[in-house]
Structure 1
């Protein structure tokens, strides 16, 4: 759990620094910075997808996972969670720091998905839980902290609250590390990363570059469905 705690601290500190720096940036600079991160995220997603060993499995997993996500209305649930955090933040820190509800929720959802998607979250948490070696998560913490600075300076205080689901997500993986390592194969991780790459591309196009609104949260079940499909194909 040490690595996860470091990750949470890095996100919160990055948000604080970003909010302080954000006052010195004009709107044009903020928008350009977010667009630049969006382009980087898009190409990062493409590089993750290109590591796929069987892109058909990733596609099927994405379709099934998205159908489940829409059925379970995950996007709305996360928006409601973000709204609850925004109300809490407004009461504790005031309206000015919390920002508008829509902007807060966008910051929360974008940061949560960006920080949670990717093989480092899973592999680092497993390594931390099994051996206590949190080097991977320490590196991730540095990257997430830097990204939080930029995000918070442009999107606002909602970035800090992404630390809560990240703590729960990575913490659970660390606690269940023995089972996770026994189940996850290299092929499963490769296809799950490829699916995550597609989701990163969707985040870039939707939340950062504002090209098209995409309900990326509804795709979250695909990160579970895809490895299951890999297992089924290998078994049968």
Structure 2
């Protein structure tokens, strides 16, 4: 069944969030703060690992760096576009609307949890490649693997950041469901180079999410999301 991968992924996020909500109730505030810090450090290293994989190659007996200009160019242009559209503000307004509509108006952590969790589980090549495979071949193996990872991530995040994290299931369902529906149109664009670029820039953005978790909100990550589109476009430029 086409779309099953997104259904499984969405369900896994909800289940992970519910488990996190249940166990989080037994934790003291200092435990939640430490868990939030630990989660942030994990996200940082996931981002670093992905970025280094895309930027470093082995040449003989030494590591050689590359793609620096790609990262600089994509982030600079993407940030400019994102600030003009102000995606961060739109994301937060949607979070505020959700908070009120779901009866969580008094939850001060709701919007932060929703935005942070949504960015963590939506950014990355697995979401796009898995959704395309699901849409064209009906193969949802990649999204099933992602679902297991997301379940664990959202469970931990919900323990420390609250129930807003559970609602990250909504943007995941919309984002991956849309890609699955448009898979036939998107697949030709997702060349090997485009996917490599997307994975690299996506990893940098995941690092930024981790940075915000550890040191407080320093980077408006949602406003950097257009960088991913720029990264794919760069794969077709003659340089």
* TM score, norm. by length of structure 1: 0.91
Instruction: State the shift of 1:162 in Å.
Output: 1.0
* Distance in 1 between residues matched to 2:177 and 2:220, nearest whole Å: 26
Count of residue correspondences: 226
Question: Which residue pairs with 2:214 in the alignment?
Answer: 209
Match of 2:92 among 63, 79, 83: 79
Question: Which residue pairs with 2:178 in the alignment?
Answer: 172
Distance 1:58 1:30, change over 3 A: same
Match of 1:232 among 217, 221, 237: 237
Question: Which residue pairs with 2:52 in the alignment?
Answer: 50
* Distance in 1 between residues matched to 2:152 and 2:106, nearest whole Å: 21
Question: Which residue pairs with 1:66 in the alignment?
Answer: 79
What is the 5 A alignment of 1:23-42? Answer: 23-42=25-44
Q: Deviations over 1:15-58 (max 9, x none)?
A: 11111111111112211111112111111111111232623112
Gaps of 5+ in 2: 56-66
Question: Which residue pairs with 2:149 in the alignment?
Answer: 143
- Runs in 1 of length 4+ with deviation above 6 angstroms? none
* Distance in 2 between residues matched to 1:168 and 1:41, nearest whole Å: 23
* Distance in 2 between residues matched to 1:203 and 1:215, nearest whole Å: 9
* Distance in 2 between residues matched to 1:78 and 1:2, nearest whole Å: 26
Mapped contact 2:39–2:157 kept (Cα < 8 A)? no
SS in 2 for 1:133: coil
Q: Deviations over 1:64-94 (max 9, x none)?
A: 011000011111110000000000111xxxx
Gaps of 5+ in 1: none
* TM score, norm. by length of structure 2: 0.90
Mapped contact 1:55–1:191 kept (Cα < 8 A)? no
* Distance in 2 between residues matched to 1:180 and 1:51, nearest whole Å: 24
Instruction: State the shift of 1:141 in Å.
Output: 0.6
Distance 1:172 1:60, change over 3 A: same
Q: Deviations over 1:109-149 (max 9, x none)?
A: 01110000111101111111111111110111111111111
- Give the alignment's Cα RMSD to 1 decimal: 1.4
